[in-house]
Amino acid sequence: MIKPGKTMAHRIVLIHAIPMAVQPVADAFAKTWPEAETVNLLDDSLSRDRAVTGHLDRSMMDRFRVLGDYALSIRADGILFTCSAFGPAIEVVARDAPVPVLKPNEAMFDAALEAGRRIGMLVTFQGSVASMRAEFEELADARNVDATLEPCLVGEAMAALRRGDAMTHNRLLAEAAPALKDCDAVMLAQFSTAQAKDAVSEVLGIPVLTAPDAAVERMKAAVLHL
How many angstroms separate the CA atoms of 89 and 87, rounded? 6
Q: What is the pLDDT of residue 7?
A: 55
pLDDT at 31: 94
Biggest CA–CA distance in the chain, Å, is 58
In Å, what is the CA distance from 10 to each residue of 82, 134, 164, 187, 222?
Answer: 18, 32, 32, 29, 12
**Of 200, 214, 207, residue with least CA distance to 183:** 207
| Burial zone of 171 (CB within 10 Å; 0-12 exposed, 13-18 middle, 19+ buried) | middle
Report domain 106-210's class.
Answer: alpha beta
DSSP state, 10? P
pTM of the entire predicted model: 0.84
Domain with CATH 3.40.50.1860 in the chain: 11-104+213-224, 106-210
State the pLDDT at residue 226.
66
Walk along the chain (226 residues) and give the pLDDT tens digit of each residue: 444 444 589 999 999 999 999 999 999 999 999 999 999 999 999 999 988 888 889 999 999 999 999 999 999 999 999 988 898 899 999 999 999 999 999 899 999 999 999 999 999 988 888 888 998 999 999 999 999 999 999 999 999 999 999 999 999 999 999 999 999 999 999 899 999 999 999 999 999 999 999 999 999 999 998 6
CATH 3.30.1540.10 fits 11-104+213-224, yes or no: no
